[in-house]
Amino acid sequence: MADINVNIYTGRIGTDIELKMTAGANPVAVATFPLAVERPKAKDAEHGETDWLDMVAWRGTAEFCSKYLGKGRKVTVQAVTRTRTWEEKDTGKKRKAVEFHITEIKPADAKPQSNDAGAFQGYTAPPEDFEEISGDESLPF
């Protein structure tokens, strides 16, 4: 049986979503934001504790997040866990970061009335081997 690496969270976006493009001949959109996920509270606690998870979205998912979601929006996220390691240039100290790469994201609150944020019901990233059709003249519809 293969290992399973699937995480599903419902939480609130903690900051404005940062959309960037990778460097190189074929730039790719990437968006990052923290997701606040509350743990269940203990019997004697007034509130549960909050975990801040580093979310990463790529390509169309990144563009969707940047355009239709924002700080404070409640979302449901399906993601895979990825770990990055690197060495600091100045000190040589080894560093590690755990990130959650989004495979699907959907708004989990009401659409804001002030703008079109959340206009779609969600976005699922196409598979890695997805190939876009260049023209629509040969389509049957």
Taking Cα atoms as reference points, which of 98, 101, 113, 11 lies closest to residue 55?
Answer: 101
CA distance 42 to 79: 27
Residue 76 sits in which domain range? Answer: 7-39+49-124
CA distance 58 to 125: 8
Span 86-133, pLDDT tens digits? 999 899 999 999 999 999 999 998 876 555 544 445 556 666 666 655
On whether residue 138 sits in a domain, the answer given is: no
Instruction: Assign residue 83 the CATH number of its domain.
Output: 2.40.50.140
Number of residues that make up the chain: 141
On whether residue 137 sits in a domain, the answer given is: no
Question: Global pTM?
Answer: 0.72
Question: What's the total number of domains in the chain?
Answer: 1
On whether residue 15 sits in a domain, the answer given is: yes
Would you state the structure tokens that stand for residue 73, as one six-digit string? 């929006």
Span 18-55, pLDDT tens digits? 999 999 889 999 999 999 999 888 888 787 889 999 99
On whether residue 56 sits in a domain, the answer given is: yes
In this structure, are residues 54 and 74 in contact, taking their beta carbons and an 8 Å threshold?
Answer: no
On whether residue 35 sits in a domain, the answer given is: yes
In this structure, are residues 121 and 104 in contact, taking their beta carbons and an 8 Å threshold?
Answer: no
